[in-house]
Amino acid sequence: MKAIKETRFKFKNQTGFYSGKVRDVYFFGDKMAMVATDRISAFDVILPEAIPDKGRVLNQIAAYNLEATKDLVPNWVLSTPDPNVTVGFKCETFPVEMVIRGYLAGHAWREYREGKRILCGVSMPEELKENDKLPQPIITPTTKAKVGHDEDISREEILSKGLVKESEYAKLEEYTRALFERGTALAEKRGLILVDTKYEFGKHNGSIYLIDEIHTPDSSRYFYQEGYEKRQAEGQPQKQLSKEFVRQWLIENGFQGKEGQQVPEMTAEIVKSISDRYKELYQQMTGKMLDAINYDALLDRIEQSIINSIK
């Protein structure tokens, strides 16, 4: 298997290019083609090894969920011409990410464990354990950093700094809650619990659109429904499908993205195990095995799909 670490296409009608943590984005006027590469990031750091099949898993899960939520929120997608490619509107991105949490896990748990009971201006009750369900979902936004780490930020700070207009921010909160409710229902049908996730929004021709990917293992955390209550009662770790296992592996090997820390060696076994987990989530969420592909023609296939879609 081969992994797509980067793409560097040159299209005759291309008006711009941007390489993010995991995506390469090609601009064509008011449209864009987003290529989901196999790069993987954690703690806002791009890890040195790409993960075979990760990009197409993310792109196809995102396409499924964007289609399943477009009655709630208009989204940026015009077409998905290739397993790794999405074509859509170029939007002016809001400078915040809308994180919503239904359970005390990941970053929220690490903050809680340190004694914090207010996260992004939102109070959390006492006497919770890791992975407990919260009384109700909480929105804990972050800044959307162009370089470096995203930072927690409260609703009040977002408004006082003028990052988002109050009327538009209220709409972002409304959309976030509706999407999380739908995502929870979709996950439940597949035997999963949607623990937490993030949504990004932008504006196109004055209207708010849901952008980027949604409900993927890069943007979301999932637990398996089966055995959840028993594991909580016994104080056992939850069986989960998300990128958290990558973060845990990094933490256990002394890396959290802090200055001076080195990413541990990503052996072939580690890379394969991460790839297998992404394919497991695809199968769990869609009920289908990931299709076999010709790994020798990956880049040619992706390039041609963009040429055919942007005319």
Q: How far apart are CA 119 and CA 117, in angstroms?
A: 7
**Which residue did the predictor score with more confidence, 239 or 99?**
99
Environment class of 11 (CB within 10 Å of its CB; exposed 0-12, middle 13-18, buried 19+)? middle
pLDDT by residue (tens digit) across 255-277? 999 989 999 999 999 999 999 98
pLDDT digits (tens, 9 = 90+) for 61-78: 999 999 999 999 999 999
Separation of CA 263 from chain center: 21
Residue 110 structure tokens: 């690490």
Q: Are 25 and 240 in contact (CB under 8 A)?
A: no
Report how far residue 259's alpha carbon sits from residue 87's, in angstroms, rounded to the nearest whole number: 36
Question: Which of 116-120, 154-158, 243-247 bottoms out in mean pLDDT, i.e. has the lowest?
Answer: 243-247
Residue 217 φ then ψ, to 5°: -70, -15
pLDDT band at residue 284 under the 50/70/90 scheme: confident
Given a cut of 60, whether residue 147 has pLDDT beyond it is no
Confidence check: pLDDT of 149 > 80:
no
What pLDDT sits at residue 146?
Answer: 61
User: pLDDT at position 247, please?
Assistant: 87
196-218 mean pLDDT: 95
Q: What is the pLDDT of residue 286?
A: 85
Q: What is the mean pLDDT of residues 171-192?
A: 96
Q: Is residue 164 very low, low, confident or very high in pLDDT (cuts 50, 70, 90)? A: very high
| pLDDT value of position 199 | 98
Domain coordinates in residue numbering, the chain: 93-242
Note the pLDDT tens digit of each residue in 45-62. Answer: 999 999 999 999 999 999
- The whole-number pLDDT of residue 99 equals 98
Q: How far is CA 21 from the centre of its chain?
A: 11
Provide the CB-side half-sphere exposure for 300 (13 A, CA). 5
pLDDT 10s digits, 125-139: 999 999 999 999 999
Whole-structure pTM value:
0.89
Higher pLDDT, 240 or 170: 170
Confidence of residue 243 (pLDDT cuts 50, 70, 90): confident
Mean pLDDT of the chain: 93
Q: pLDDT at position 145, please?
A: 67
Tell me the mean pLDDT in the region 14-43.
Answer: 95
What homologous superfamily does CATH list for 93-242? ATP-grasp fold, B domain (3.30.470.20)
Residue 227: per-residue pLDDT: 97
Does position 311 have pLDDT exceeding 80, yes or no?
A: no
Q: Is the pLDDT of residue 214 over 80?
A: yes
